[in-house]
Amino acid sequence: TSGEYTLEHNQSQSPNGQQQPVETEKFARILLKLPDVRLIGNDLKILLQFFDRKTDGKILDACLLAEILNPPCEKYEIVSHLKSRELVVKKDFFNGIKPNEFSVYDRSGKNLKYRIDTKWFKIHSITIAAKPSNEEIATTEVKLRWFSYAADFRILDNGVWKNGTIHTTKGAYEINYDQKVIVLLGDTHDRSLIWKDVNTGKVYGKIRRRARSLILPNVYELFMTDDFPEAFYLIGTAIVGGFSSKRQYG
């Protein structure tokens, strides 16, 4: 399911015509932005040469890799069939006995787009509202069980309310929506969560903690394809972030 990616940018060159290492370093910094990245062509060759130069031919250690890959560079774009959208998700500081609640912003992290609130009366529920209109765009009714988790949800999709379900299964969450079966599971490579089609293997989205978000409140980056409305991904974000510490991203 790996996508083939190419880098679109104006490569700066040194006086002798050689590409400057900083360009490849910035390229490397954004590789973890998308799941299952596989580079092709000249981009792969340049990146491998850069890694080899930085490590003197030795195996790239985790510390050096982290230094190269963070913070993410926002000036460049990876182009592929996975046309990502991005949201910034900020978890609330304190919410008493209630499960986690979130504010969701655009890519800049400054403009509020959605609010995810929870209610607890007999059955726990999640409500997602668009801002600033406060229009309700998604709701859930959670069925709490001793050893598993299940919920019904509905999403406003292009003006039409559509129903779906989500439940735990074999260490992941299985989502049934719009005639598709999708698993929401952890990616051990960078402690993120991905939305993956059970039948095709396609990755629809990914959420992970921002590298610089080491102190509360927790801040996450959510990347999505345009296959589903944004509320679809926010439902999974709210459920996983609110109930199971073993499956929490970050």
Q: What's the average pLDDT block by block, 10 residues per block, for the chain (250 residues)?
A: 41 46 48 44 49 44 42 34 74 66 91 89 80 95 76 94 93 93 80 87 85 64 90 91 45
Pairing of strands 160-169, 149-157: antiparallel
Of residues 74, 55, 112, 82, the one with CA closest to residue 225: 82
Task: Indicate the angle between helix axes 21-29 and 62-69, nearest 10 degrees.
Answer: 100
* CA distance linking residue 221 with residue 206, whole number of Å: 8
Contacts of 43 by beta carbon, 8 Å cutoff, 6+ apart: 5, 6, 7, 27
CA atoms within 13 A on the CB side of 245: 0
pLDDT for 59: 37
- The domain spans of the chain are 3-79, 85-247
pLDDT for the residue 176: 97
What pLDDT, on a 0 to 100 scale, did the predictor assign at position 11? 43
